[in-house]
Structure 1
Amino acid sequence: MENELQKKYGLLTAIAMVIGIVIGSGVFFKAEKVLIATGGDLPKGILAWMLGGIIMIICAYVFATMATRYEKVNGIVDYAEATLGGNYAYFIGWFMAAIYYPTLTSVLAWVSARYTCVLLGWDIVGPEAMAISGFYLVGSFALNALSPKLAGKFQVSTTIIKLIPLALMAVVGTIVGLSNGILVSNFTSGVIADVASTNPLFTAVVATSFAYEGWIIATSINAELKDAKRNLPLALTFGTSFVALIYILYYTGLAGAVSNSVMMKGGETGAKLAFSTVFSEIGGTVLFVFVVISCLGTLNGLMMGCTRGFYSLAARNLGPLPKVLKQIDINTNMPANSSILGVLLSGVWLLYFYGANLTAVPWFGPFSFDSSELPIVTIYAMYIPIFIMMMIKEQSLNFFRRFLMPSLAVCACIFMVVAAYYAHGKAVGYYLIIFTVIMAIGIIINYKPKQAGL
């Protein structure tokens, strides 16, 4: 066993990881939810996608600035340590490893299975879907744990593949929609259905947060990225800007394929229906295969972060069994034990997601919350102290990088927290109870009478 990760990824892999993790299931999975949240109001839906993209770009830019100054084991944990010290770094690292990575990874395993089932005509919440979810979860883990270089190549390949359906729908869907009048009709029809939320824009922006999330996971390969201080900022800045643009164009093209009312009623088949309408049944099926591959690429990127979650703590001699979890396999140069624990927790959260969101009667009563959105909003709340301390400590930066962008990032994060409250209501309180219990467990596990500093 070794105890250091090698520099094995280049700029192309880093960019592919940012784009590949972010672009995937969310733009397909949440497109119909944004329409439903806004009552079919297309301009308001596009505004929600724009706001979500702006929030992502602003936060990514601030972290890109920090990436030029700090390079250690895991980007977000490194930045927390540099600005707020070891205790906060452990706090955020434990959250990422125990909640953030495994919740998103588990949801992506199901979403990948969901679109596979749509393609095959199977029930998206039946035994077939859950069996495929488990298979995808284990398969992605095996790919990353046994051959991280192959996982990196898979990430680049799927990133290229997943852009095909998005680009085609953005261009062809818009042209078709303009020629047959559907796009203009969708833009001018206004609200066509009742909305459940008191603030539909907030609900829609929170929905887009899942589609935009994942870029921060690219910082998890900080220690394995060649010339990280140069390549990571480039990947974050270019990748997030590209994603926001392609999402807005795709959403516009989607509105040219079918009417808003049809898309809202389509449910899980909405995206397939749109592709089949524009590209014929056969062409739509082929492109929908690319959608499934797109989801698998996102799952792979999330698993890349998930397998390294506990390693980032163990490398600092923190968390559970640090001597065990910081071991690097000499053959694969992967933190094998950390990977196993990461996929185990992903399985636990997959079981929770099914019982809380996919069953007719939620298993967990009031403690059933949407694990695809609330952990994302939590991480935005955790960014706020980092941005504030960056403004205080980074005296060598100019006004734009030290004050303006971090201030905008703080405002963006506060907006996300408020929007989450409006979108999820009482579920936020029950989620915070579970969050508090898990974080307390992390603190207890890490307690040592003579704890070494970071």
Structure 2
Amino acid sequence: MESNLNKKYGLITAIAMVVGIVIGSGVFFKAEKVLAATGGNLLLGILAWLIGGAIMVVCAYTFSIMATRYEYVNGIVDYAEVSMGKKYGYYIGWFMSTIYYPTLTAALAWVSARYTCVLLDFNIVGPEALAITSFYLVTSYAVNALSPVLAGKFQVAATTIKLVPLLIMAVVGTIVGLSTGMTVANFTTITKQVSTGNALFTAVVATAFAYEGWIIATSINAELKESKKNLPKALVIGTVLVVVTYILYYIGLSGAVSNAALMESGQKGVRMAFEKVFSKVGGTALFVFVVISCLGTLNGLMLGCTRGIYALAARDMGPAPNVYKQVDKATNMPTNSAILGLLFCGIWLLYFYGSQLTESWFGFFNFDMTELPIVTIYAAYIPIFIMLIKKEKDLGVFKRFVAPILAICGCLFMIVAACFSHKMAVVWYLITFAVIMLIGVFFDKSRSK
């Protein structure tokens, strides 16, 4: 099979692409949760970022081994197909289309609105936040559906912009904190005593949201020079740089204000930290970059959301393939798939508001849709890694056994951590997951063959 894609990327460009794809809004959103979960224990928080990052690095490296074996395979659905067969690939695709992409897209629309509300001093769960959330969601859909080229240009711009507040706070915040003694004070003071085990599990699961996106980076292999050698390097170096950036940003925050003040301020803590270090005007300007960073992540997720059902339909799978694989000639977009993707986002946004942002509409039936779908993906990786061990008999010991076994252990850690962190909410999520996957069984064309 030949590819029309040119080998145009070198190692440095590939590393930059990995960093740009993985770094997103999660570090701003989840840094607060990591701090709160660990009771302001900075060392425990840094350990959580390290464990979550290590799991990402080893999983990314293991997938890079597969990517160099199947050079024109792109995305998790394709990896699932080549390792486990078309049926497994179909169910992964169904999950991505109906749960993974729309849950995270809906949540990111609110996260973007949340920081916009912080910027404008609005209530983050009030009618203003919901109106801005809906506006961002529909605007992101419109940009992707009507002008994919414009969406792509915005994505490139947002990738550059989102690095600015992270790097500036990491460097300047740390320098300021060391000079004032704030960093040392925060490292030596624990704001609230917590159970170390449960705190660590909760914090690690929270970091999964910030680290998500690395699987997309494996899709650059077909355009990478000497991909068999450079892709593993790019993924490992790129993901390690992300881990280092996140940890330095986390330390930089601690140099700006006390852990107690950050925990008390909640969603306003990040803005307060920026203003403390860079003055009110400078801090506000940098916080605008945080909002743009969130919008960039939303744009990327919406891109995947609009193409979710199309990816199945293009394989003649899923509901009404002839309808959802149609591509509009003017925009080169799968319009019907995009519309259905937006509908899924709307459904999940409704659930997100009713379960997380107000007095529960669903009683006890509540779960965190920003974390549990990501943990589900880690569970789905396990059979793929097992098949790598089973099938690739000509690989060396490290690539065939050590790397995938470490990756499997990392995935299992995420699953156990999610159970400890979310407790009964995991059960409600699994019930929802099972119902949606059973609907997928109804559209599984291979059952009738």
Question: 2:76 is matched by which residue type in structure 1?
Answer: I
Aligned to 1:293: 292
User: Given the superposition, is the C-alpha separation of residues 400 and 353 from structure 1 closer, same or farther in structure 2, using an over 3 Å criterion?
Assistant: same
C-alpha distance in structure 1 between counterparts of 2:104 and 2:412, whole Å? 22
| Conserved? CA contact 1:13–1:156, under 8 Å | no
Contact 1:20/1:301, CA 8 A, preserved across alignment = no
The answer to whether the aligner puts 1:257 opposite 2:256 as a matched pair is yes
Residue range with higher mean Cα deviation, 16-25 or 166-175: 16-25
Q: Structure 1 residue aligned with 2:391, among 371, 390, 393?
A: 393
Distance 1:304 1:432 in 2: 26
Once the two structures are TM-superposed, the CA of residue 399 in structure 1 deviates from its matched residue by 2.0
C-alpha displacement at 1:331, in angstroms? 2.7
| Structure 1 residues 299 and 41, CA gap change in structure 2 (3 angstroms) | same
* Aligned twin of 2:187: 187
TM-score (norm 2): 0.92
Matched with 2:37 is 37
Q: How far off its partner does 1:153 sit?
A: 2.1
Q: Shift of the alpha carbon at 1:368?
A: 1.1
| 8 Å contact from structure 2 (residues 106, 345) kept in 1 | yes
For residue 10 of structure 1, report the CA deviation from its aligned partner.
7.0
Q: Cα distance 1:57–1:313, how it changes in 2: closer, same or farther (>3 A)?
A: same
3-state SS of 2:39 partner: coil
Code of the residue aligned with 1:391 in structure 2: it is I
Q: Which moved more, 1:148-157 or 1:112-121?
A: 148-157
Q: Hey, what does 1:356 align to over in structure 2?
A: 355
Structure-1 separation of matches of 2:13 and 2:301: 14
8 Å CA contact 2:177, 2:255 repeated in 1:
yes
1:351-372 CA distances to partner (integer Å, 9 max, x unpaired)?
A: 111111000x211122211100
Distance in 2 between residues matched to 1:425 and 1:297, nearest whole Å: 32
Segments of 5+ residues of structure 2 without an aligned counterpart are none
Can you list the C-alpha shifts for 1:169-197, whole angstroms capped at 9, x where unaligned? 000000000000010011111x3214378
| Superposition pairs of residues 184-223 of structure 1, within 5 angstroms | 184-189=184-189, 191-195=190-194, 199-218=198-217
How many angstroms does 1:147 deviate by? 2.4
Residues 354 and 319 of structure 1, relative CA distance in 2, 3 Å threshold: same
Cα distance in 2 for partners of 1:299, 1:334 equals 18
Deviations 1:193-216 (A, max 9, x none): 143786211111011111111222
Within 5 Å, give how 1:47-446 maps onto structure 2. 47-70=47-70, 74-189=74-189, 191-195=190-194, 199-218=198-217, 226=223, 230=227, 236-359=235-358, 361-446=359-444
Cα 1:9/1:299, change in 2 over 3 Å: farther
- Report deviation, 1:241: 2.5
CA distance in 2, matches of 1:74, 1:433: 30
Give the superposition deviation at 1:18.
Answer: 4.5
**Residue deviations 1:260-298, cap 9 Å, x none?**
111111101010000000001111000000000010111
In structure 1, give the amino acid aligned to 2:282: G
Q: Once the 2 structures are TM-superposed, how far is the Cα of residue 15 of structure 1 from its aligned partner?
A: 6.3
Whole-Å Cα distance in 2 between the matches of residues 391 and 331 of structure 1?
Answer: 45
Change beyond 3 A, Cα 1:423–1:247: same
Q: Percent identity?
A: 65
CA distance in structure 2 between the partners assigned to 1:59 and 1:257 by the alignment: 34
Give distance in 2, aligned partners of 1:209 and 1:304.
21
> Is contact 1:70-1:78 (8 Å) kept?
no
Q: Give the direction of change, closer, same or farther, for the CA distance of 1:6–1:333 in structure 2 (3 Å limit).
A: farther
Q: Could you say what the CA RMSD is over the residues aligned between the two structures, in angstroms?
A: 2.4
Deviation at 1:422, TM superposition (A): 0.6
- CA gap of 1:365–1:13, structure 2 versus 1, over 3 A, is farther
Distance 1:15 1:303 in 2: 24
Change in 2 beyond 3 A, CA 1:69/1:315: farther
Q: Which moved further from structure 2: 272-281 or 334-343?
A: 334-343
Q: Tell me the distance in 1 between the aligned counterparts of 2:336 and 2:238.
A: 31
Structure 1: distance between partners of 2:321 and 2:238: 33
User: Is 2:73–2:79's contact at 8 Å kept on the other side of the alignment?
Assistant: no
Distance 1:127 1:218 in 2: 37
Deviation at 1:119, TM superposition (A): 0.2
Residues 115, 291 of structure 2: 8 Å contact kept: yes
> Aligned partners of 1:425, 1:333: CA distance in 2, in Å?
44
Residue 217 of structure 1, CA deviation: 4.0
Q: How many Å separate the matches in 2 of 1:216 and 1:105? A: 17
Once residues 44 and 367 of structure 2 are traced to their aligned partners in structure 1, the CA distance between those partners, rounded to angstroms, is 26
Distance 1:132 1:148, change over 3 A: same
- CA gap of 1:258–1:179, structure 2 versus 1, over 3 A, is same
Return closer, same or farther for 1:72/1:106 CA change in 2, 3 Å cut-off. farther
Q: How many residues align?
A: 443
- Secondary structure of 1:266's match? helix
Distance, in Å, in 2 between the alignment partners of 1:126 and 1:319 is 38
